[in-house]
Amino acid sequence: MGIAITLQEYLMEHDSKYEVIEHTRTGSALETSEVAHIPGDQLAKSILLGDEDRYLLAVIPATHRLEIGKLSDIVKHKLQLITESEMAGAFSDCEIGAMPPIGEAYGIDTWIDPSLLEQPEVYFECGDHHSLIRMSGEAFRELLKGTRQVPISHHL
């Protein structure tokens, strides 16, 4: 499958510089970090949450755990993990669980843990479980400059 069309078009529109890196198929962010030989702190993990009204994409380093309660308090909505069928609808050109951290490309409000923005390079899923995008930290920060940046996770 490779890079999702929606993401690819968004990156082209924003003139983003990136490289696609192939790896063996994985089932979790930490496993991806291991097989791709990249630091887990540099791998963005996207978590789709929702309430009765909307979706929200939380983006944290693979080595962190999301604090859903804290994020719910911040947005003043009780958020929960969404179902796989809802995930498939929101990210229709991505495999389940391989969502990129660029919610804006899909019309989804995105919140990012600022610790990820401090990295010299950032890697992220691009629509399937065997490809990653590698981007400089500077390019990633530029791409996500309008995203809400709040500490919403803690290191495992």
In this structure, are strands 55-61 and 43-50 parallel, antiparallel, or unpaired? antiparallel
- Separation of first and last alpha carbons in the chain: 31
Structure tokens at 112: 């990012």
Assign domain 5-155 to its CATH superfamily.
YbaK/aminoacyl-tRNA synthetase-associated domain (3.90.960.10)
Number of H helices, E strands in the chain: 5, 10
Task: Spell out the domain ranges in the chain.
Answer: 5-155
Give the global pTM: 0.94
pLDDT tens track, the chain, 156 positions: 689 999 999 999 999 999 999 988 887 888 888 888 999 999 999 999 998 889 999 999 999 999 999 999 999 999 999 988 888 889 999 999 899 999 999 999 999 999 999 999 999 999 999 999 999 999 999 999 989 999 999 998
Q: In whole angstroms, what is the distance from residue 78 CA to residue 52 CA?
A: 9
Residues 6+ apart with CB under 8 A from 38: 123, 132
